[in-house]
């Protein structure tokens, strides 16, 4: 899995944009937790899936970052430490754009 962090940039027209850069790679386990809240995208009602990922990481991971798993992006909603900081557990939600 890939962990991405946000980077501010500028478009060709000069507008500020947010892009993502790779912060690191991790091995994680995943469990499906259900679904998020309904959203309307392009006139359709969609419900994003939520997962809990668990990993051993020496890097700082917070809610401003994104996970990428097999080409799908996930927003990190919540992080917590397990086993006295040995593992990190994250609740994530699939990005639907």
Contact 92, 75 (CB under 8 A): yes
Structure tokens that stand for 33 in this block:
């937790």
pLDDT of residue 45: 72
More confident call, 92 vs 47: 92
Enter the tokens of residue 57: 């990481």
- Model confidence at 4, pLDDT cuts 50, 70, 90, reads very high
Question: Angle at CA 23, nearest 5°, toward 14 and 84?
Answer: 135
Q: Report the C-alpha gap between 36 and 60 in whole angstroms.
A: 25
Residue with tokens 């086993």: 83
Q: Give residue 88's domain range.
A: 2-94
Instruction: Return the CATH number at 90.
Output: 2.40.10
Domain count, the chain: 1
């Amino acid at each position: 899995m890939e962990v991405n962090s946000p980077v501010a940039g500028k478009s060709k027209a000069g507008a500020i944009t947010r892009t993502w850069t790779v912060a690191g790679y991790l091995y994680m386990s995943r469990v499906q937790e259900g679904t998020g809240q309904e959203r309307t995208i392009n006139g359709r009602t969609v419900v994003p899936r939520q997962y809990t990922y668990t990993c051993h990481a020496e890097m700082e991971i917070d809610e401003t970052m994104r996970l990428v798993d097999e080409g799908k992006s996930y927003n990190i909603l919540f992080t917590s430490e397990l086993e006295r900081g040995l593992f990190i557990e994250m609740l994530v939600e699939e990005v639907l754009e």
